[in-house]
Amino acid sequence: MKMLLAGQWVDRDTRIEVRDPFDGSLIDTVPAATGDDVETALAAAEAARETARKLSTHERSQILTRTAAIVHDSLEEYARTIAREGSKTITEARKEARRAVNTLTLAGEEAKRLQGETIPFDSFPGGERRRGYFERAPIGVVLAITPFNDPLNLVAHKLGPAIAGGNSVILKPATVTPLSALKLTEALLEAGLPPDVLQTLSGHGPVLGDVLVGDPRVRMISFTGGVETGRHIAHQAGLKKISMELGSNSPVIVWKDADLEAAISSCVSGAFWAAGQNCIGVQRIYVHRDVYEQLRDGFIERTRQYRIGDKLDEATDMGPMITEGEAERVERWIREAVELGATVLTGGNRTGALLEPTVLADVPETATIHHDEVFGPVVNLYPVDDLDEALAKANSLDFGLHAAAFTRDVDTAFRLADGLQCGGVMINDSTDYRLDSMPFGGIKSSGLGREGTRFSLQEMTEPKVVCWHLGD
């Protein structure tokens, strides 16, 4: 595929191979953007600010609604692209493609709900005879940087609101999964987006990133990715708005009165969805000691039923990790935990990029797999005795995206919802639940700001005040 730069689909001599992580087969190649391309993208994005701003609300809304329809009509094609370039099985990929349709539809609707307010300027002496209002104005050029694990929907979460808000956008998708983003770019143009309003640059983040991120023409960076990359970007950004959707290490508390079957089924899926490469994936489960053995045995049994392998096979439950190197990293973390005293209850073996879904117990707090984001198919079980202990342990790390609790008792549910330190608490669902319209984001090292169509749209626009002095 080609990349979109200054209104043209362009190619470059140096191309990046996009390979299927399951068997290493070549899917396609994309151009490797150069330093000159970065400059062209910045200049083109700046020049297109007025084009983007002057699109009427109904035009922005229609472009997004039409794009949603295009993705919907080619859902299987999008799902196959997601499944081939990334880690998701075809079933998981179909769900992501359907969600991207929702995200784009919501962005089209939200464009029409972007409103300001009148301002009572005469609230204090000296403001009399003034009338006015604020409206939401586009922020200008938005730089959107996206990760590999949701290669379509997370791109939709940035492009949708940015376009709804009347912004010009530069998109830098993950190098290993650029195809879904480029296909979405094609759909937006087919739906009527003026081609100069979006620059989609394929290429390596560490090569292109610093100049893009530091350039003053970029007024906002909307980044989703790892904490380390996020920290680096924040250092480089200078004086501009940043929104950061980063990693986590999500805790679930299963209380003694919980529906254990529901907890097991939801947490197994939440731990191993997309081979665990999921920012809200379940990583630590704190279980009341009275039901620990029952939950543990059920969890092991359900995990052992997982079929891993070819992502395009309808019967496959879990695919490979994104690269063999990533699978090796997680294998090393498991080995370190075992050396420190952890027990492998099931899984732990690796073939290439395929790592078995793995359940650990007795994991010490010093183990990397306890305190860092594993971003792989591993979940740790811990017995706990009371709610204070469960809350203290769940909150003990420097992450806070989602947390979850399973209980049938309303008081316990409220106490946990109140005490869990994070951006979202799921009661009787695992941490892996998200609605694309809800405010989504984290506290501590999990991020800054909130995504979710309506909330991103607020972040990607600024209040602009108009005040009329009516004279005396």
User: Least Å distance between CB 469 and ligand NAP?
Assistant: 45
Quickly count helices (H) and strands (E) in the chain: 16, 22
User: Least Å distance between CB 88 and ligand NAP?
Assistant: 13
DSSP 3-state of 368: helix
Of the candidate residues 67, 89, 199, 224, the single one contacting ligand NAP (CB under 6 A)? 224
261 to each of 137, 282, 406, how far by Cα in Å?
Answer: 49, 16, 11
422 is catalytic: no
Which CB, 61 or 103, lies closer to ligand NAP?
A: 103
| Residues written for the chain | 472
Which CB, 55 or 201, lies closer to ligand NAP?
A: 201
Of the candidate residues 209, 276, 419, 424, the single one contacting ligand NAP (CB under 6 A)? 209
Of the candidate residues 175, 199, 243, 316, the single one contacting ligand NAP (CB under 6 A)? 175
119 to each of 173, 287, 453, 459, how far by Cα in Å?
Answer: 40, 52, 26, 21
CA 238 to chain centre: 24
DSSP per residue, 8-39:
EEE--SSEEEEE-TTT--EEEEEE---HHHHH
Which CB, 239 or 410, lies closer to ligand NAP?
A: 239
Q: How far apart are CA 147 and CA 144, in angstroms?
A: 10
Which residue, chain included where needed, has tokens 């909130």?
Answer: 450
User: Least Å distance between CB 122 and ligand NAP?
Assistant: 43
For ligand NAP, the nearest residue by Cβ is 209
Closest CA to 263 of 431, 438, 88, 440: 431
- With contacts defined by CB under 6 A, how many residues of the chain interact with ligand NAP? 31
Which one-letter amino acid corresponds to residue 413?
A
The site string for ligand NAP over 59-78 (x = CB under 6 A, - otherwise) reads --------------------
Touching ligand NAP, residues 225-254 (CB under 6 A): 225-226, 229, 232-233, 245-247
245 is catalytic: yes
The site string for ligand NAP over 431-460 (x = CB under 6 A, - otherwise) reads ----------------x-------------
Of the candidate residues 22, 78, 148, 255, the single one contacting ligand NAP (CB under 6 A)? 148
**Tokens of residue 298, six digits:** 């059920």
Residues 6+ apart with CB under 8 A from 65: 104, 105, 108
Which bin fits 7, alpha (ψ -120 to 50), beta or left (φ > 0)? Answer: left
Q: Does 204 bind ligand NAP (CB under 6 A)?
A: yes
Which CB, 264 or 448, lies closer to ligand NAP?
A: 448
Of the candidate residues 373, 429, 436, 459, the single one contacting ligand NAP (CB under 6 A)? 373
The site string for ligand NAP over 149-168 (x = CB under 6 A, - otherwise) reads xx---x--------------
96 to each of 89, 157, 161, 370, how far by Cα in Å?
Answer: 11, 12, 18, 28
Q: Does 401 bind ligand NAP (CB under 6 A)?
A: yes
Q: Which residues are catalytic?
A: 245, 279
> What residues line the site for ligand NAP (CB under 6 A)?
145-150, 154, 172-175, 204-206, 209-210, 213, 224-226, 229, 232-233, 245-247, 279, 373, 375, 401, 447
